[in-house]
Structure 1
């Protein structure tokens, strides 16, 4: 609508100064049209430059996420890959459904849409919670009211992305957060660790029974035991 106003005021300014003979009416029509034209151009400039007439609106979405590791172990796993150096911005690997056969990498840069990609970030945080989740905080431009939408709604600006930040919250005692290199190290060491654990159980039948009972009665505590042993044996740090 603002573009239509600018065109109309430009035409009326031209008409007022060029075709009205009476000096008073020429000054009134031409001057008023020029003033309105100037105001319209200034408002459009403010809108383009500073998103005048719009406001940032934030929405939050929470999703449960599932391990990127094997499904037959008691503990969870989140894989991370930092984008750049010391950016604290990560591509994260996890399952979005516990029935998924394979985990999927999320938040990788999209080279075909770099402008949008630069507005999106992701990281992780260890928590005391027992369940892993992903919280996505999205900020978008929205018109303040219907009048502003009618006035400036010409460029598909409604819902334009300002920023998007995703954070994975993972239980610190029952999940591992690993780089790809650490995950490969764990995979390579797993057979030896499993053999060592089985040998320990055979040599200590009473403790073996306690461990098996713990696995059945309290899977969370058993997962904590697994995670602590892996960190200790492979030197993984928080």
Structure 2
């Protein structure tokens, strides 16, 4: 609508200046059309630069995510390094198990990534997207076709990851998979994992001899996750 007012104001100003003969009528017509013309320009500039008539609206979504490592035994918080500061790194993850094409965060000036380590068993991703939206239908109609509605302000990704996960770059992950992919490394890890899990279960049963099968399975699962995390961290340390 503001664009229509701008065109009407400019057209009326031109017609008043060129074709109005009486001085009083010309002055009044120039004044009114000039106010419409200049007012339209001022409002357009205010909307573009100061977001006049708009407000910030934030949408928050949280979803469960999975490691994009491609292996259920290697829970990795993978990222692709972009630049040298680390601010624009792209994090890679899956939104469902055995996902063919991994999802990833955006790499632009609006995006910020945060990683929080938790004691929870599942990994989640909270995404907060803030955009400019018009305060009311009036402003939406007034600035229609301006292209300002829905413009991005900021996007914040917050990864809430179990402490059993390991954060590393895609370059490190490729080296790690090569290091741990040999048959000797796999056999050695399997032996160590069995010994670690057995020791953990035995210690838990000594504290609680009346453990049920469900409780024992839970301890086994937790011990397995702990061992995997420790083994990954040791392997990553060898890469540096």
Instruction: Please list, as runs of the form range in 1=range in 2, the aligned pairs for 1:198-209 lying within 5 A after superposition.
Output: 198-199=190-191, 207=199
8 Å contact kept, 2:132–2:148: yes
Following superposition of structure 1 onto structure 2, how do residues 151-190 of structure 1 map, counting pairs within 5 Å?
Answer: 151-172=142-163, 174-187=164-177, 188-189=179-180
How far did 1:215 drift? 7.4
TM-score by length of 1: 0.77
What's 2:78 paired with?
79
1:132 aligns with 2:126: no
Task: Give the whole-Å Cα distance in 1 for the aligned partners of 2:197 and 2:65.
Answer: 36
Report deviation, 1:8. Answer: 1.9
Q: List aligned pairs for 1:207-218, cutoff 5 A.
A: 207=199, 210=202, 216-218=217-219
| CA 1:196–1:51: 2 relative to 1, 3 Å | same
Give a deviation string over 1:46-102, Cα, whole Å, max 9, x none: 2233332222211111111012235442x62221122110133322222210243x4
Q: Is the 8 A contact 1:65 1:95 kept in 2?
A: yes
The C-alpha deviation readout for 1:195-230, integer Å capped at 9, x for no partner, is: 33455588899749749x887332134312331243
Instruction: Tell me the CA shift for residue 138 of structure 1.
Output: 1.0
What's 2:104 paired with?
Answer: 106
- Residue correspondences, number: 226
Q: Tell me the SS of whatever aligns to 1:87.
A: coil
Unaligned runs of 5+ residues in structure 1 are 110-116
Q: Does 1:46 align with 2:46?
A: yes
Runs of 4+ off more than 6 Å: 201-206
Q: Which of 137, 144, 161 does residue 146 from structure 1 map onto?
A: 137
Q: CA deviation at 1:32?
A: 2.4
Once residues 99 and 203 of structure 1 are traced to their aligned partners in structure 2, the CA distance between those partners, rounded to angstroms, is 29
Alignment partners' CA distance in 2, 1:155 and 1:203: 66
Counterpart contact for 2:76–2:166, Cα < 8 Å: yes
1:236–1:161 Cα change, 3 Å: farther
Q: 1:6 to 1:205 in 2, by over 3 A?
A: closer
Does the 8 A contact of 2:91 with 2:104 survive in 1?
yes
